[in-house]
């Protein structure tokens, strides 16, 4: 592995952790999920809402986020694939 690839891998890990932390810290729990908790992204306050929206978009693109089918603002993180 090259130093450049190491840097990319580390940057992704930091971004993954930051995005997950934004959701875990800024959103209310909405119950237990099979592998963690459900989070209500609509509960984020107006200051943190843009960060939560970006975190949801990022983690969904990375394949680390699942939405509740009947309530898409309720999400869970699938960090076991990281």
> What is the rounded CA–CA span in Å between residue 39 and residue 29?
5
> What's residue 35's pLDDT?
87
Q: What is the pLDDT of residue 82?
A: 44
pLDDT tens, per residue, the chain with 82 residues: 898 999 999 999 999 999 999 999 999 999 999 889 999 999 999 999 999 999 999 999 999 999 999 999 999 999 764 4
* Entry pTM: 0.91
């Amino acid at each position: 592995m090259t130093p450049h690839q190491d840097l990319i891998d580390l940057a992704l890990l930091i971004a993954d952790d930051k995005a997950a932390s934004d959701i875990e810290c800024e959103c209310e729990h909405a119950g237990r999920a099979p592998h963690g908790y459900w989070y209500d992204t609509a509960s984020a306050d107006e200051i943190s809402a843009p960060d939560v929206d970006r975190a949801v978009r990022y983690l969904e693109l990375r394949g680390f986020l699942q939405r509740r089918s009947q309530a898409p603002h309720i999400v869970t993180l699938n960090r076991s694939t990281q």
